[in-house]
Amino acid sequence: MSTNHLKILGISGSLRKDSFNRMILREMARHTPEGADVSIFNLKHVPLFNADLEENGDPEAVEDFKESILEADGFLIVTPEYSHGMPGVLKNALDWAASVTNRNVLDKKPAYVLGASPAPLGTALSQAQVKQTLAAAGAFVLQQPELYIGKVPSKIDEAGRLQDDSTKTRLHQAMEAFVEWIETMKGNN
């Protein structure tokens, strides 16, 4: 691992206060290897995408979101799955971030996608859609390890802390792989 301090921006694709995915994102931040930090951006103020709003520059909440992505070395997305797909709030945020009208901040940005769900299969279908959108925007998406956290309510305690040791190990391994990915991609730019 390099000696440069890495900044990772994390978002949850859910706006719910007690979102399982926000809990997992916080857990990922706790599993960040030394030399890297995760900051979390809440998407609740990002307006619905509307190209008319871009004419005079991005709205303030969108500009804040884009600046946070630009300042980060990597982009971490933890997504739920709604009706076998990506949540609208997440698609909306990615549409703003990838819009070329003012600037596409996802181009050449290392990214990693994972997710948690009460369903046994986790968020496989949602993650595929998120990865497709990121790839279309030019992001460098880490494909492995795939991390689908199913039956998540049984893995989290009443305080919102992950209790499942196997999942904790997988989260730690995923963060190590993502940090390595970021460093590799930075070396290729």
Average pLDDT value for residue range 155-166:
90
- Does some domain include residue 15? yes
Task: Name the more confident of 69 and 161.
Answer: 69
Is 60 exceeded by the pLDDT of residue 2? no
Backbone phi and psi for residue 142, each to the nearest 5 degrees, phi listed first: -70, 120
Average pLDDT value for residue range 159-165:
90
Q: What is the pLDDT of residue 122?
A: 86
Q: What is the total count of domains within the chain?
A: 1
DSSP annotation of 174 reads H
pLDDT tens digits for 101-141?
Answer: 999 999 999 999 999 999 988 899 999 999 999 999 999 99
- Does some domain include residue 144? yes
Give Cβ neighbours of residue 77 (< 8 Å, ≥ 6 apart): 10, 11, 13, 90, 111, 112, 113, 114, 130, 134
- Does some domain include residue 103? yes
- Within 13-55, residue ranges assigned H as helices are 20-30
| Tokens standing for residue 146 | 């795939």
Instruction: Report the predicted TM-score, pTM, of the whole model to 2 decimal places.
Output: 0.94
Average pLDDT value for residue range 55-67:
95
Q: In terms of residue numbers, what domain contains 45? A: 6-188
Q: Find the CATH number of the domain harbouring 168.
A: 3.40.50.360
Average pLDDT value for residue range 40-56:
94
- Does some domain include residue 145? yes
pLDDT tens digits for 71-106?
Answer: 999 999 999 999 999 999 999 999 999 999 999 999
- Does some domain include residue 1? no
- Does some domain include residue 136? yes
Q: What is the pLDDT of residue 56?
A: 87
- Does some domain include residue 24? yes
Say how many CA atoms lie within 13 Å of 151 toward its Cβ. 6
Whole-angstrom Cα distance, residue 32 to residue 27? 9
- Does some domain include residue 12? yes
